[in-house]
Structure 1
Amino acid sequence: MPDDRKGKGRATNGSHDERTPLLNGEPSSRGEEATPDATGRSAWTHRLIRTSMVLLALCGLGILLFLIAASYSFASFASHIEPQAMFDQGAIVWKGPSDIKIVDMSPTGVVMRVEGSIGIDADWIMGLDMNSGTNMRLSVLEGARKALGRWLVKKADTVTVTVGDMRLYTPYSRSQHRTPDAPLLSVFLPSIMVPLTTRRSRFGASDDSWLTRLSIPMLVYPHENTTLLTEFAKDAMQMRRVLARAAVDSMQLDVGDGKQWWQPPSIVRPGVEKIIKYELPALPPTNGDDPIMSLIHLRSYSMTTNPPKPPQISASADMTNFMPISNPLSDKELKLPLEMTVTLLPVEELNPKPAPSDSNDTSLGAMIARITETSVSLTHPNISIDITGSVLPLSRSAAPYLSAFITRYLNAKDSPILLTTPPPFLLSLRTVFPGPKERPKIVKTIHMKDMKLHTDGDNGLSVSGTIEAGITLPDAISDVQMEVDRILPDILLFDGPPPPEFGISTSVVDTPSVSFLGDDWVLVTEDGEDDDEPEPFPAPPLPDPLPERAWGRIRPKLWLNATSEPAPDPTSPGKNLTLVTSPFENLPLQLLPGRNAVFRQFVQKLVFKGSAVAGMRGVTAVRVDLEGLVLSDGDGHGMEIKGIALEGAFEIRR
């Protein structure tokens, strides 16, 4: 019977207690029935994860193998390239040198800095510009390889090039009659970092914007036997060709700066060699004994003094430029801190047999100057060379060589000299110092002032007066101050100006000669007390035949005192000369044999007209001090110059 009870009383069920579940039991039954499905789903998930891991591992392994294969292909391709092929195919482009600077020269070598532009085409070196053909699969792989390669290049950015010792050899030595083992010179370079470039094809053939400017220091050191270097240069001049062999111990390329964790192995190429051939253009004919110096022509030279500093010298020379006009160093100026000594050689060395122009033996000469700086302008068709230096302190042993040098110069003759460089090159070049085209005119003006004739009791003749002579040095040393304190004239007197057709006879006029005064040199003058002393040097004989209208000779037995001072040069406005004044009294006058009639005619002019013009021609010797040009040992100094030509005319009054 239904329960008819109503209301909100608590519902009761006798079968429920505190352990009765709050929910009915159906859900619990369904959970027990779903357990096999959940287990299957979990197993499938595990299989999926394992499969994915295997696939990922395979993909990773494939990528790793691809990276290894690609990297190996890059390295293999680059390692099998001949270094010369890189230059021939334009993979490595070097433009230069655009400038060369000599930083230092010392016994350890020549430090120079070479500037230029360089570029490396990474696509060509790594084989990234190769075409894979029409195979689609290969094209995809090749595209991936190229992309990887360019990415690696971008990450690396640069390559470090380390070059071993570089040496230059001559193919043959005439002096050794074989191929020499020693190199001509060695070059040491530091490691160089060069940026890498990809997609070189974007740049035109004439577009150099992808190149990087570099300034590379290097040390050049010649071999101890510098004879080979001089011989090599001579052979090149004579054969009109440069032929040499360049060898490098090794060449190493490292990607990047060597600090990356992923640094690939270095590419090393041992024993790289290259034959250098360069044909020289047509050169002017050269001297067979010394083809190098025959290309050099001294253009000008000068010497100046500024006490207490030693005399300064400067010179300019031209050298035939055998390099092509398109050479990148054209019109460049090189400053060389090159020291070089100048040695005077004996006159017989003008034509040595044989001519060892590479000998550095200076024992048979005297060092007189040191060149301290050389400037070279690489112009066309001639290279301009400017040098500066100073005169060295002159030893007593140098006097004979310097005397011979000045003597030959005053006679317009060449003199042999030796140019020597210090270590490391130790090069020596024999050449000649050219004399002037004609004898320098040292006495520019000559006058006899207040000239008077006297007779003595023995029917002898004597003269009194004052000699005034304007003396100049050759243009090259015209700025050097000089002081003349003694003269010794030897002149012929003429009735009227000397005839122009009469040349200076060598039997009367000595060719100019120079000697240095020694410490024991005794100067005896006409007004001194040592009248019994011998003549400074014997008088030359009279010319035979005697010149026309010549009637007398003045030749003092001893030196005449003289004074000198600077004065304007009347023949060259704006220039100065040294005015030498020497008064004399009662000098013996020799009447020339067979010329009594000429002398009487001259005296008649003097008596009846009150004056007569007398011509003179001859030579004089002078004792001169050149500022700054003195001997360093001993107290003796000064030079004695003989055979200086003079010619002029003056008026004698009764």
Structure 2
Amino acid sequence: MAAAESEDRQNYVKGKGKAKPPELATETTPLLQVEAGSSRSSGDDELDLESSTTARRQLWSKLIFVFLFTLSLCLVIFLAFVLLAYSYAARLSDVSPEDLLENGLVFEGPDRVDVLNATDGGLWINLEARVGIDAGSIIGVNSDGDEGTLRDVWKSAGRLGIRLLGTVSANLSTVYVYSSRHVLLGTVSSPPISLPITTNPPYDASWLTPISVPLFVRPTNSSSDLVRFVSDSWRHGAASVQVFVSSVEAWGGKPDARGWRSKLSFDFKHLEMQMSLPLPPIPGLPTPGSNTPLPSFSQIVSLQAFDIVSTPEQVTLNARASVINPAPSTFDMTVPTLPFIVSIPGTQHTPVSVASVHTQPFNLTHPNVTLFMSGNVLPLASDATEALSLFATRYLTLQRNPISIACPLFPSLVVDTEFPSPDTKPKLLRNVTIRNMKIKPTSAGGGFSASGEVFTRLVLPKGMNFMMDVKRVLPDVIVFDGEVPDLPPLPMIQGNVPSRLPSPIPPRAFGHIRPEDWLDAVSVYDGSDGEGSTFLVTASIEDVPMEVLPGRQKEFSNFVSKVIFSPEGALAGLQGTADVGVNIVGLPFHDGTGKEAELELVGLPFQGNVRIGKKGLLFGFP
């Protein structure tokens, strides 16, 4: 009993002390002791396994927590983006086309227009301009500095989205352009257009992006509507138009975008916009506005030089004109070769096409544009001679000469205008005289007749270098005692009609000579002499009646006295008009009989002298 208590006490003391490591079992170790040691190791393993399971459970709990937290956060962020996108979409859905055009779209230019091609009744042009869309203003995300924190975050997210989007593309239906009178002026078509978008743009135009857009422009077929629009614009000092587009499809990104940007798309219907472009003052023209009428064609276009040359096959035309450039100095434009048909009024109020010309390619220059043209005379019908003769006569006598200009590419578009006349009236007939002139009384008594050879130098205006053959002339002459006084030219007398004498009869005029019919003429080419072609023309007159003007018998008697008693004879002044019938070499028309048709130049004024001696008076005294 005492021994047992002593052993228990020892064990008790050992329990309070530091545990000793178990001794390794040996061959001498008692079996009970080994079994006891084995029992203790198995319990420790179970404790370790339980601890490991608990740790794994704690790790899974943490992972699940992190996953759920991350998922929740993503859902919150996604919902936030959805709410932001919904708010921006709601803003965009409330944007009207008028707001988009007036507040969002900013356009400067055009800076340059290149005409690429003319076909199918319209023009393909390439337009260069500067453009930008203030998307921040449209959806209201531009910075203003007066918003709260959440508002600033909302706007910042919107500006970030706009920057990521970068550009938008638009596909417009046909654009219709009307005048302020609601008259269609033309249509414009284009492929899809890419436009840059931005936020917080500066107040100047430095943020605008240059673009280059091909456009197909088809003007109206009504020339009168275009002329009226130009005239109204000039009177009001501004070109006012209304633009209508039935539909516009817009989407994010480039025209060929396929990513997330293209998913953002919008459709606008029935867009209308009014535009008014003030007309700047143009040097050399009246200031537009204040009901100022539109300048005439001759004020805008001046013919600087032309050259008409004939060959046996055709008559070719070359010209240089100066056109006032109404565009601002910042605007550039290139125009390729364009064909035109020039017509003149016919006798039956039907236009007669007389020339086919084309312009050389040109660029806009300031203040004027130099335009070079070339072409040829078209084949003419036999009944065109009268119309062409009247045109030539009007040109030479500085009369109004209406013409019409049409482009074969736009058959229905015809512009009526006037062909510019020369600055001064050309003096075609020079050095007019009657060689070997003889005056004698007629057998009927009381009258006189004249004979001789009419001579003149026919000098065409500068630039008319064609060859021609003068076939006949019809002079109408007033004869003066001495030099012709300083008088205005006689009125134009139409061929084959009774002569009209000037009223009152000029001083010292005493005689009137006019053949009853055309006189056959012969012409010889005499070079150009620094002007147009020059020809020496002669025509014989034989016993042509010479009328003593009413009340001028005294002047006639004084003239006869000078002829008889003066050793040098007497100087007679000649003033009048002449009709000239000519054949122009290479002019492509005939009269239907195989003979070349003649042009008649009517009422050409002239002035000259002739000295008559004693041998020129044949009174027939026995």
Task: State the TM-score, normalized to the length of structure 2.
Answer: 0.75
1:205 counterpart = 2:203? yes
Alignment counterpart, residue 511 of structure 1, candidates 493, 499, 510: 493
Aligned in 2, Cα 1:442/1:226: closer, same or farther, shift over 3 Å?
closer
Aligned partners of 2:563 and 2:612 also within 8 Å: no
Q: Residue 428 of structure 1 aligns with which residue? A: 414
1:157 counterpart = 2:117? no
Matched letter for residue 441 of structure 1: K
Partners of 1:185 and 1:13 in 2: how far apart? 121
Aligned in 2, Cα 1:155/1:554: closer, same or farther, shift over 3 Å?
closer
Deviation at 1:114, TM superposition (A): 1.0
Partners of 1:37 and 1:417 in 2: how far apart? 111
Aligned in 2, Cα 1:580/1:51: closer, same or farther, shift over 3 Å?
same
Alignment counterpart, residue 626 of structure 1, candidates 576, 580, 584: 584
Q: Residue 432 of structure 2 aligns with which residue? A: 446
Partners of 1:270 and 1:502 in 2: how far apart? 73
Partners of 1:286 and 1:404 in 2: how far apart? 35
1:183-232 deviations in Å (ceiling 9; x for gaps):
442211211223444564xxx53361x43211111112245666655554
Q: Residue 472 of structure 1 aligns with which residue? A: 459
Partners of 1:582 and 1:262 in 2: how far apart? 87
1:247 counterpart = 2:244? yes
Q: Residue 368 of structure 1 aligns with which residue? A: 354
Unaligned runs of at least 5 residues, structure 1: 1-10, 174-179, 348-361, 514-536
Matched letter for residue 511 of structure 1: I
Aligned partners of 1:512 and 1:644 also within 8 Å: no
Aligned partners of 2:478 and 2:574 also within 8 Å: yes
SS of 2:412's equivalent in the other structure is coil
Deviation at 1:627, TM superposition (A): 4.1
Partners of 1:216 and 1:431 in 2: how far apart? 33
Q: Residue 548 of structure 1 aligns with which residue? A: 508
Structure with larger Rg: 2
Q: Residue 482 of structure 1 aligns with which residue? A: 468
Aligned partners of 1:188 and 1:218 also within 8 Å: yes
Q: Residue 191 of structure 1 aligns with which residue? A: 192
Aligned partners of 2:112 and 2:129 also within 8 Å: yes
Aligned in 2, Cα 1:83/1:638: closer, same or farther, shift over 3 Å?
same
Deviation at 1:248, TM superposition (A): 1.7
Aligned partners of 2:179 and 2:185 also within 8 Å: yes
1:220 counterpart = 2:217? yes
Partners of 1:130 and 1:197 in 2: how far apart? 12
Alignment counterpart, residue 542 of structure 2, candidates 587, 590, 602: 587
Aligned in 2, Cα 1:65/1:295: closer, same or farther, shift over 3 Å?
farther
Q: Residue 517 of structure 1 aligns with which residue? A: none
Aligned partners of 1:243 and 1:277 also within 8 Å: yes
Aligned-pair identity (%): 21
Aligned in 2, Cα 1:49/1:295: closer, same or farther, shift over 3 Å?
farther
Over the aligned positions, Cα root-mean-square deviation in angstroms equals 4.4
Partners of 2:168 and 2:373 in 1: how far apart? 44
Aligned partners of 1:342 and 1:369 also within 8 Å: yes
Aligned in 2, Cα 1:587/1:309: closer, same or farther, shift over 3 Å?
closer
Aligned partners of 1:286 and 1:294 also within 8 Å: no
SS of 2:393's equivalent in the other structure is helix
Matched letter for residue 542 of structure 2: L
Alignment counterpart, residue 283 of structure 1, candidates 284, 288, 293: 288
Deviation at 1:156, TM superposition (A): 3.8
1:433-459 deviations in Å (ceiling 9; x for gaps):
45557653211223455x365989979
1:376-403 deviations in Å (ceiling 9; x for gaps):
85857xx768473543322123222223
Partners of 1:575 and 1:41 in 2: how far apart? 117
Alignment counterpart, residue 617 of structure 1, candidates 563, 575, 583: 575
Aligned partners of 1:555 and 1:588 also within 8 Å: no
Partners of 1:602 and 1:644 in 2: how far apart? 31
Unaligned runs of at least 5 residues, structure 2: 1-25, 281-286, 616-622
Alignment counterpart, residue 120 of structure 1, candidates 133, 142, 151: 133
1:500 counterpart = 2:500? no
Q: Residue 643 of structure 1 aligns with which residue? A: 603
Partners of 1:215 and 1:265 in 2: how far apart? 24
Deviation at 1:328, TM superposition (A): 4.6
Aligned in 2, Cα 1:169/1:542: closer, same or farther, shift over 3 Å?
closer
1:30 counterpart = 2:30? no
Partners of 1:168 and 1:125 in 2: how far apart? 26
Deviation at 1:474, TM superposition (A): 3.4
Alignment counterpart, residue 299 of structure 1, candidates 298, 302, 309: 302
Task: State the TM-score, normalized to the length of structure 1.
Answer: 0.71
- Counterparts of 1:20-419 in structure 2, within 5 Å, are 26-86=40-100, 88-89=102-103, 91-125=104-138, 127-130=140-143, 136=149, 138=150, 142-143=152-153, 149=158, 152-170=161-179, 172=181, 183-197=184-198, 200=201, 204-206=202-204, 208=206, 210-223=207-220, 228-237=225-234, 242-257=239-254, 258-261=257-260, 263-278=262-277, 283=288, 297-300=300-303, 302-305=306-309, 307=311, 308=313, 310-312=315-317, 314=319, 316=321, 321=326, 328-329=330-331, 332=332, 335=335, 338-345=338-345, 364-373=350-359, 377=364, 386=371, 388=373, 390=375, 391-419=377-405
Aligned in 2, Cα 1:316/1:505: closer, same or farther, shift over 3 Å?
closer
Q: Residue 565 of structure 1 aligns with which residue? A: 525
Partners of 1:189 and 1:28 in 2: how far apart? 89
Q: Residue 532 of structure 1 aligns with which residue? A: none
Deviation at 1:256, TM superposition (A): 1.7
Deviation at 1:429, TM superposition (A): 3.8
Partners of 2:516 and 2:223 in 1: how far apart? 56
Aligned partners of 1:117 and 1:211 also within 8 Å: yes
How many correspondences in the alignment?
564
Partners of 2:536 and 2:488 in 1: how far apart? 25
Matched letter for residue 461 of structure 2: P
Aligned in 2, Cα 1:503/1:605: closer, same or farther, shift over 3 Å?
farther
Q: Residue 604 of structure 1 aligns with which residue? A: 564
Matched letter for residue 212 of structure 1: T
Aligned partners of 1:493 and 1:551 also within 8 Å: yes
Partners of 2:344 and 2:71 in 1: how far apart? 87
Q: Residue 23 of structure 2 aligns with which residue? A: none
Aligned partners of 1:491 and 1:555 also within 8 Å: no
Partners of 2:501 and 2:134 in 1: how far apart? 87
Higher helix share: 2
Aligned partners of 1:345 and 1:416 also within 8 Å: yes
Partners of 2:520 and 2:591 in 1: how far apart? 28
Aligned partners of 1:171 and 1:245 also within 8 Å: yes
Matched letter for residue 359 of structure 2: E
Deviation at 1:465, TM superposition (A): 6.3
Partners of 1:620 and 1:262 in 2: how far apart? 82
1:524-576 deviations in Å (ceiling 9; x for gaps):
xxxxxxxxxxxxx577487796963646858486623413112464xxxx446
Matched letter for residue 485 of structure 2: P
1:28-82 deviations in Å (ceiling 9; x for gaps):
3311243333332222222222222211111121122122223333333344334
1:439-497 deviations in Å (ceiling 9; x for gaps):
53211223455x3659899799987765442212234x5334433244444545555x3
Deviation at 1:131, TM superposition (A): 5.8
Matched letter for residue 71 of structure 2: A
Aligned in 2, Cα 1:340/1:376: closer, same or farther, shift over 3 Å?
farther
